[in-house]
Structure 1
Amino acid sequence: MLKFYKTIDGVTHELAALEKDCWISAVAPTEEEKNYLMQEVGVLPEFVKASLDEEESSHIDFDDEANQTLIIVDYPSAEESEEAITETTLQYTTLPLGIVIMKGYIVTICLYENLTIEDMEKGRIKGINTAMKTRFLLFILLRISQRFLIYLRQIDRLSSRTEQKLHQSMRNEELIQMLGLEKSLVYFSTSLKTDEITLNKIMRGKLIKLYEDDQDLLEDVLIEVHQAIEMCNIYSNILSGTMDAFASVISNNLNIVMKVLTVITIVMAIPNIIFSFYGMNVDGLPGAHWLFPSALAIIACLIATYIFKKKDMFH
Structure 2
Amino acid sequence: MIRKYSIINHSIVETEENPKVIILISPTQEERDKIINEFGVDSHNLNSALDPEEPSRIEFEENHIEIIFKRPKNYSSTDYYLFKVQSIGLFLFKYFLIIVLSDDINIFAGKYFTSVIGVKEVFLKILYNSIYHFMEHCKVINMIADEIETKISQSMDNKYLIHMFTLEKSLVYYASAITSNSLIILGSIA
Candidates 67, 73, 83, aligned match of 1:77: 73
Task: Give the number of the structure whose residues are more often strand, by fraction.
Answer: 2
Candidates 135, 139, 164, aligned match of 1:149: 135
Gaps of 5+ in 1: 205-315
Q: Show the counterpart of 2:96.
A: 105
Q: Whole-Å Cα distance in 2 between the matches of residues 168 and 43 of structure 1?
A: 55
Mark the structure with the bigger radius of gyration: 1
Aligned amino acid, residue 122 of structure 2: F
Contact 2:112 2:125 in 1 (8 A): no
Specify which structure has the bigger relative contact order, considering alpha-carbon pairs within 8 angstroms and separated by 6 or more residues: 2
Candidates 115, 119, 128, aligned match of 1:127: 115
Give the CA deviation at 1:112: 2.0
Give the CA deviation at 1:160: 1.4
Structure 2 vs 1, CA of residues 60 and 179 (structure 1 numbering), >3 Å: closer, same or farther? same
Q: Show the counterpart of 1:212.
A: none
CA shift digits 1:24-73 (9 cap, x unpaired): 11122222322332344553323312222222111111222xx1210111
Structure 2 vs 1, CA of residues 139 and 80 (structure 1 numbering), >3 Å: closer, same or farther? closer
Indicate the RMSD between aligned Cα atoms, in angstroms.
2.3
Give secondary structure in 1 for the equivalent of 2:27.
Answer: coil
Contact 1:3 1:25 in 2 (8 A): yes
% identical aligned pairs = 25
- 1:14 equivalent to 2:4? Answer no
Aligned amino acid, residue 169 of structure 1: S
Give secondary structure in 1 for the equivalent of 2:83.
Answer: strand
Q: How does 1:109-258 map to 2 (within 5 A)?
A: 109-114=100-105, 117-119=107-109, 125-129=113-117, 132-204=118-190
Q: Whole-Å Cα distance in 1 between the matches of residues 28 and 108 of structure 2?
A: 19
Normalising to structure 1: TM-score of the pair?
A: 0.55
Candidates 51, 58, 66, aligned match of 1:53: 51
Candidates 60, 66, 85, aligned match of 1:94: 85
Task: Give the number of the structure whose residues are more often helix, by fraction.
Answer: 1
Contact 2:84 2:173 in 1 (8 A): yes
CA shift digits 1:163-214 (9 cap, x unpaired): 222222222221111001101111111111121111112223xxxxxxxxxx
Question: Runs of 4 or more off by more than 6 Å in structure 1?
Answer: none
Give secondary structure in 1 for the equivalent of 2:153.
Answer: helix
Give secondary structure in 1 for the equivalent of 2:109.
Answer: helix
Gaps of 5+ in 2: none
Aligned amino acid, residue 163 of structure 1: E
